[in-house]
Every structure is written in C-alpha cells, then in structure tokens.
Structure 1
Amino acid sequence: MRALHIITGLGVGGAEQQLRLLLRHLPVDCDVVTLTNPGPVADGLRSDGVRVLHLGMAGNRDVGVLPRLVRVIRSGGYDLVHTHLYRACVYGRPAARVAGVRAVVATEHSLGDSQMEGRALTRGVRALYLASERLGSATVAVSPTVADRLKRWGVPAPRIEVVPNGIETDRFRFDPERRERTRRRLGLPGGAFVVGGVGRLARGKRFDVLVRALARLPEDHWLLLVGGGPEEHVLRRTAHEAGVSGRVLFTGERPAVPDGSPGPDLPSLTSAMDLFASPSTEEAFGLAAVEALAAGLPVLYGSCPAIEDLPPAASAGARRVRGGPEAYARAIAEVRAAGPAPRTAAEAARHYSITRSTARLMDVYTAAVTGPSPSPAP
C-alpha cells in the first residue's frame, strides 16, 4: 500500500510529531506533503528516509494549492490519502477525490469545545469542515471525547473511527542517571522540586497559571516549560512581574523523537521533573500528560481525555485540578508533601503504545481501501 500524508505544517507540534512517530511504525510506503512551514519535523522525517514535499501555500485562501495537490497525488500512484489538521483536510480531501483516490482518511487532532487549532469554531469554520468531510472515507478522532464532539458537529457516526495517539513507552522510562545529567545541564539546584509543563506556548495552554502558582510556593520550587510559541514573551514578563523569573526555565521546542538537535530531548526533560502539570482546560487528547505518566510522574491536569476516557486505576498519580494559580499551588504543595513515589509507568501509558495505535490505524486504512467509494452526503 502507498499512502500520501498531507499536513498543514511541520513545525514542532503534537500533531506533527505524532505523524513522524506513526510513520516510523506504519507498515506502509508513505510520502508527506506539507502545505506550509517545512520546519524541524520535516527535517526529522527526511532523516528517517521519508520523502517530504513542501507546496509553499501562501495562506488559507491560496486556492492555487489545489491543482498542485492534485498533480502530486496523481503522479504518486497512491492507494490512500491521509490528511492532518484543518487546512490540510479542507484542501486535501477534495484534491484526493479529483485525483481519483477513493480512500481518503483524515485525523482530527485538535478539536475542542470552542476552538480548533487555536481558531474559534465559527459557523463558517464548521460549514467548510463538514463540506470537505463528506468527501472522505473516514474521520479519525484521537479520543472518544473528540469523537463525541465530531458527532455534535454533524459528522455521521458511522464515518468516525477512534484511533488514540500513541507513544514509545520505553523511551520515557525513568532513568536516574539521565535525570541527574539533565538537571546539571539545566543548572537546577540539587534540592529543587521541578514542576514541568510541555506544549506550545499559546494562550489556550494556560501556562501563566503555573507561573503565578510558582509565586505562591517556596523558593525551592522551579518551573520547567518545554516548548515554543507566541506567548513566550508574555510568560517571561509574567514571571518577572511575579518575582519568579529566576526560577522559570524555558527550553524552547524539543523533539519528541531523536533528530540530532542540540540539547536534551523530551524524555530527558521529563526525567528531570518531579511533577507534570497541564492547566489547559480544552484538550483533544493530552499526549504530554501520557508521556509524563510513562515517565512515572505525578500529573495535575485541567483537561485530558486520554486520562478521563480510561478507568481511574489506569492513571494512578493523575489528578484533575479545577481553578487557577491558587488551586494549582495548593495541589503542587500536596504532591510535594506526600513525598516521592516510585517512578514506574502508569497503565495508561502502556495502553497508548504506538504499536497499538498503528495496528488500529491499519484497520482503518484497510477498510477505506477495500470499501465502497465515498459519496457526498445529501
């Protein structure tokens, strides 16, 4: 089977890194087209031996990308087209149909209750999404929570398949030597209690809550923020105003899988943490929280379908926190007071192994390739 993956961009983000991880494990001959931003993940894919083509899309309304996509699909002889993220879905699904590919799968990585990939869920966004969805064979939701949101949007239930995100569990296994090495490299004091946050530094992630919570905690508490994004300057200013700028470390974007970048990778950084916190209240999956559970970290979260969709016993050590800085400061203090627990992976982390995810995705691919050609819904 030959498949073409179409994605909006290949900067360091959850969907982008999940695509790279999937392609490392899928038993399929895959190429990748990025509409915009051939960033670090594109370089990583190429180092893995994947052909990556950048179409140079100028903006959301650059309709000239549509014929270019059609030509790429026709020339590649693909059995299936798989689209990722909103813009790629809106342009990729019709391009695949025009090119004559009947098996068209889309993954919805980032649908919240009020936003999708940071854009407000206006009537126009919804209408355009649903119009293109009718041209596909199946829409993959990364969690049952996202599947329910898609149904409420108007996507027919029989066309929705749940394929959770996956991780390479063993890569996040706690290593005390790696922990000490990484903490020394970061310049952390020996007795520091490190609260970690991982994700795009954007407003919806609410990392400012953790900065303000830090100001309510003793001086030996530190905050390690892993990621880049438009709110970094705001968070730095918030830390300065709160008087904690000397205890907040910004690592920038770090790869989830090895790609030769300088500096510690994500598993090394999670090993350096004592607690993971995700104050975002609107997540589609919560991949970073699952990775933290794989590292044996206690987890505080505002929203995490990956945890909430499983029995509580599968995520021992995870706790939902409702509220702002005071609530998180109180919860962090309680975890600290309880003392360290063994750094063993939670059952939830094993449940979301990448091998299980790729096996489920292959079932979706097989059904799309062998099933009837999709026809637009009335």
Structure 2
Amino acid sequence: MRVLHVISTLAHGGAEHQLRLLVRRLPHDCEVVTLSRPGAVAEAWRADGTTVHELGDGGNPATTARLRRLIRHGHFDVVHTHLYRACVQGRFAARLAGVRPVVATAHHLSERSVEGRPASAGVRALYLAGERAGRATIAVTPAVAGRLRAWGVPDARVTVIPKALDAAEYRYDPQLRAAARARLGIAPGVPVVGGVGRLEHGKGFDRLIRAVGAAPGATLLLVGDGPARVALERLAVIEGVADRVRFAGAVGHVREMLCAMDVFASPAGPDSFGLVVLEALAAGLPVLYASCPPLEDLAATRAAVPGSHRLSARDPESLPRALRTELLCHQERHGARLPPRSAGDRYSATGLADSVARVYDRVAGR
C-alpha cells in the first residue's frame, strides 16, 4: 500500500514528531509532503530514508492543484493529513485526484482553537467541509473525539488513537546530564525540578515557581517558550527565586533536559494529554502531574506506575507538599535514578503504527 502523508509544516513540534514515529514503523510505502519550506528538517527525514516533497508557500488554490498532481502521479492508495491547513487542502486535493481513502489526524481541537488557529465559525466550517471529503478522522484524545462529535462528525468516522513515544529516545545518559547542567549553570549536586511545555497563561507554571520557593536549595528548570515567559520571569523575581529558576527556551528534543532533571512536574490542567509526563517516566524521573489520562486510567485499575503522583486540583498545597516529598526521596536515594517506566504498549510507537495501519485497511476496504 502506498501512503502519502500531508502535513502543514515539518518544523519541530509534537505533530511532526508523532508523524516521524509513525512513518518509521508503518508496514507500507510512505512518502511525506509538507506545505511549507522545512529546509534542514526535511534533510534529516531524507537521511532516515523517507521521501519528502516540498510544495512551498504558494496560495491555497495553487498549492491544492500541485498537491492533486502529486497524489495522482504518485498512484497513492491512501492519503493521511496532519494539522489544520493540510487537513483542509489535503482532503480536497485527494478528492480531486480521485483518491477516496483519506484519513486525517486531529491533534488540537478545543472551544478556543482548531489546530492552533482561533476557533472562528469560518475556521470550523472549512475544517468540517474538508472532513466530509475524507473517510476517517483519528483523534489523539477522547476530548478531541468529543469535540469532533459535538461539531457533527459521525461517530463511526472517529477513532481514538493516542499519542505515542519511543521510550529509547529518552533513556538517561549521565554525560548529557553533565553537559546540560554545565551549559545552564547548574552545579552537579543541586536538585533540579523540571517542567516542559509551552509557556502560556493557565498552564500552571506560576504554581511551579511558587512551589520551588518553598523548596530551599532546589533549582527549577523550565523548558519551552511562549507568551507568558516575561510574566513568569517577573514572578520569579517577585517570589525571590530568580536565581534558582532557569528558562531553557524551546528545544528540538527534550531528552537532554530530562537528563538534567531530578523531579518532573506537570501542573497543566485537564486539557493536557500528558505525553511529556510519559517521556519523563521513560527518562527515569519521578513525576508529579495534574492531568495525564494514561496514568489516570492505570491508577483507576489499581495499576499505578511507581514514582508517579497525581496532584489534587482542590488542594493548593498539593504541589509544594508533593515536591518537598520527592526532593526528600531524591536525597535519600543519594541522587540515584529511578528505572525507566511506561504506561503500557498502547502508548508505544509500535502500538501507534499498528492502530493506524488497521484504520488504513478499513478505509481502503481491505
């Protein structure tokens, strides 16, 4: 089976990384086309043996026409689209090229945004018009699936396949730890609390800064960037912990930063899937989380992952108390790393590829 993956951009990001994990493991002949100019990122994909097409930044009608020609001349059996622009243009282009088995992956849908765009009536209408040109939509979380159904997408067309990770990508390396700490100006023996994510209001990073203020001797490492960074930097000054907070900015891959940490905290609310929490587990870190559906599902079946602790949304002292406890445990272990843990095969890259391959078989009538 020949499959063409259409993605809006190959810039470093969650959707791009999920696609890379998928393409490497699918038992099909896969090619990728990006609707923007990826530059060096495309070269990295090609080095892995993946054929990457670049359509550039032409206007929508011109891009759709070029994409239609690519699909038709490539004799693809299935077209799989990723992210808003690709989902709209890719599904229409596939229909014009005569390819009916079209699958889309919905990564980010909420009341406020559609794949990173403001959720205006026009944006939603265009997305839904494209959805009717496909045969199946993969939602990465039950919340995204619920949003699709609320918009009127038939339940039979929606399949939930969660985000995944390759645990080997996050294995602990003491040399990476030493290099990252030296670059960030963190002494070898200082306990480091880490947080990863886009720095936006409502993500809970302000709570994390205040919690570190109640944990003398610990340094907070925030990895990511966003509109709230300046406000968070000011808060660190107000709380008197500016000298103990490091802003690392956005990174292409978080492995090195996770190696530099000793405790991982994710204070993000219920809209978070918590993939970075699973990455921290794979790196051998104890984790504190406000929301992580994979771990919550396991805890509900009395199969909680060792070294993970869910924070209480109703108790403002839950985070600082749990943080002090984990730092004490870290001290008692004399800094020893925990073993890598996981939330099960369902969230592995191999499990992702198996699930998506079954969707392809279904839409292609196999």
TM bucket (normalised to shorter chain) is 0.7 to 0.9
Are the counterparts in 2 of residues 228 and 253 from structure 1 also a CA contact under 8 Å?
A: yes
Unmatched 5+ residue regions in structure 2? none
TM-superposed deviation, 1:180:
4.1
Shift of 1:21: 1.8
Aligned match of 2:326: 335
Residue in structure 1 matched with residue 311 of structure 2 by the alignment: 320
1:72-97 deviation digits (Å, cap 9, x = unpaired): 22222211111111221122111111
Partner of 1:262: none
8 Å Cα contact 1:17-1:41 kept in structure 2: no
Deviations 1:6-50 (Å, cap 9, x if unpaired)?
112222211111111222222222222222352664343233232
For the 8 Å contact 2:37–2:55, the answer to whether it is kept is no
In the alignment, does 2:243 pair up with 1:246? yes
Distance 1:236 1:53 in 2: 41
Aligned to 1:365: 360
Residue 21 of structure 1: aligned partner: 21
Tell whether the 8 Å contact from 2:311 to 2:318 is kept in structure 1 after alignment.
no
Aligned residue in 2 for 1:97: 95
Q: CA deviation at 1:104?
A: 0.5
Q: Is contact 1:11–1:40 with CA below 8 Å preserved after alignment?
A: no
Residue 202 of structure 1 contacts residue 230 of structure 1 at CA under 8 Å; is this kept in 2? Answer: yes
Unaligned runs of 5+ in 1: 257-265, 372-378
RMSD: 2.9
8 Å CA contact 1:145–1:284 kept in 2: the answer is no
Assess if the C-alpha contact under 8 Å between 2:94 and 2:102 holds in 1.
yes
From 272, 295, 312, give the equivalent of 2:283: 295
Q: 2:351 aligned with 1:353, yes or no? A: no
In structure 2, what residue type is equivalent to 1:315?
V
Counterpart in 1 of 2:11? Answer: 11
Give the secondary-structure state (helix, strand or coil) at the position aligned to 2:30. strand
Contact residue 346 and residue 352 of structure 2 kept, 8 A = no
Matched residue type, 1:332: L
Say if 1:58 and 1:337 are closer, same or farther in 2 by CA, change over 3 A. farther
Q: Residue 162 of structure 2: which of 164, 186, 193 is its match?
A: 164
Contact 1:293 1:349 in 2 (8 A): no
1: CA distance between counterparts of 2:289 and 2:39?
29
Give the Cα–Cα distance (whole angstroms) in 1 for the partners of residues 206 and 189 of structure 2: 24
Distance (whole Å) between structure 1 residues aligned to residue 326 and residue 320 of structure 2: 10
Where does 1:112-127 land on structure 2 (aligned, <5 Å)?
Answer: 112=110, 114-127=112-125
Distance 1:314 1:95, change over 3 A: farther
> What's the CA shift string for 1:273-309, capped at 9, x where partnerless?
1122222225353221111121232222333233334
Q: 2:219 pairs with 207, 219, 222, which one? A: 222
What aligned pairs does 1:84-233 form with structure 2 within 5 A after superposition? 84-112=82-110, 114-176=112-174, 178-203=176-201, 205-214=203-212, 216-233=213-230
SS in 2 for 1:348: coil
Between the aligned residues of both structures, percent identity stands at 50
Q: Is the 8 A contact 2:106 2:115 kept in 1?
A: no
Output the amino acid matched with 2:46. Answer: R
Separation in 1, partners of 2:15, 2:344? 18
Find the residue that maps to 2:249 and give its secondary structure.
Answer: coil
Contact 1:212/1:325 (CA < 8 Å) preserved in 2? no
Residue by residue over 1:204-230, the C-alpha shift from the partner in whole angstroms, topping out at 9 and shown as x without a partner, is 54434433433x234422122223445
Question: What corresponds to 2:294 in structure 1?
Answer: 306
Identify which range, 193-202 or 75-84, moves more after superposition: 193-202
Instruction: Name the CA distance, whole Å, in 2 between partners of 1:210 and 1:44.
Output: 35
Task: Say whether 1:267 aligns with 2:265.
Answer: no
Q: In 2, distance between residues paired with 1:77 and 1:68? A: 14
1:27 match: secondary structure = coil
Q: 1:186 to 1:83 in 2, by over 3 A?
A: same
SS in 2 for 1:315: coil
Structure 1 323/76 Cα, relative in aligned 2: closer, same or farther at 3 Å? Answer: farther
Report if aligned partners of 2:266, 2:288 keep a CA contact under 8 Å in 1: yes
Query: Whole-Å Cα distance in 1 between the matches of residues 110 and 183 of structure 2?
Result: 37
